[in-house]
Amino acid sequence: MMKRTLKVGFIVLMLLLIYAPILILAFFSFTEATQIGQFRAFSMQNYVMLFTTEELRDMILGTLLLALGSSVLATILGTLGAIGSFYSRKQFSSMYSTINQIPVINADVVTGFSMCILLVVVLGISKDSFIPLIAGQTALSAPFVYLSVMPKLKQMDSSLYEAALDLGAKPGKALFGVVIPQIASGIVSGFMLAITLSLDDYFIATYTKPATFDTISTYVVNATKGSHTDIKTALWALSTVIFVIVVIIVVGMNLNARRHSDSRRERA
């Protein structure tokens, strides 16, 4: 009994440590306080500020568009790469996989810095063109798409593709009609991974982004160094909004997964 209490106590303590900062920040985001621990009147001004300040709105929208764009690119490239590699001879296939590991194990600082040197310093591509930024984030996340598609290809029933060809389907049609559906779950989770990587990226963005463009990460990092208190507290509101969105997505995913397993059980 004693042991059980200890265990529960430890888990609760850990959860408190992890969530206390986020929840305390959320509480003060609904007040006029400019510092944690100041008890002022409740107010929604931080949220009004967050959604009406053009600079903040552009920054959030820009981050989302960048994440979407680089993730779509990464998903297409990574999926095609995985399919190509899967059907290639062994030497080629292992070459793909080796090079694919580089951005995965490399430090983001190194990836971002080397990207900046090649594209901006050597090739002279302007950062304002967004090309270095998009290429950099795509290079970071495409390998993760490759890695999440590959196991699905290996599990796939390869005779179905042959069967489709035997039945007269053109290779392209067989690919889209037979192969892609079988690896779809890998493509989707690869895409989700790419989105999270892009949203959380700081280093690639800071080394390759146009000077006038900011992602949430670069904006928040610069804001913590500055002294604009109204912007600072508006970011508390942003933190709270993102927290709530993440909670909703996670709860939704859990309910969805449970419903799926329930219906599977009923069918069985």
130 is a contact residue toward another protein (CB under 8 A): no
Shortest gap between Cβ of 69 and another protein (angstroms)?
15
Q: What whole-number distance in Å separates Cα of residue 90 and Cα of residue 113?
A: 32
Q: What whole-number distance in Å separates Cα of residue 154 and Cα of residue 148?
A: 11
Shortest gap between Cβ of 20 and another protein (angstroms)?
7
164 is a contact residue toward another protein (CB under 8 A): no
The one-letter amino acid code at 137 reads Q
Helix (H, G, I), strand (E, B) or coil at 226: coil
Binding mask 89-128 for another protein (x = CB under 8 A): ---x---x--xxxxxxxxxxxxx-xxxxxx--xx------
Return the range that interacts with another protein (CB under 8 A); candidates 47-55, 64-72, 87-95: 87-95
Residue 119 is given by DSSP the state I
182 is a contact residue toward another protein (CB under 8 A): no
Shortest gap between Cβ of 268 and another protein (angstroms)?
19
Shortest gap between Cβ of 145 and another protein (angstroms)?
10
Shortest gap between Cβ of 175 and another protein (angstroms)?
7
Q: How far is CA 180 from CA 42, 83, 143, 157, 161, in A?
A: 52, 9, 18, 12, 10
196 is a contact residue toward another protein (CB under 8 A): yes
**Which residue do the tokens 């029933």 mark?**
157
Q: What whole-number distance in Å separates Cα of residue 41 and Cα of residue 31?
A: 6
Q: What whole-number distance in Å separates Cα of residue 69 and Cα of residue 198?
A: 10
> For another protein, which residue of 66, 142, 164, 231 counts as binding (CB under 8 A)?
142
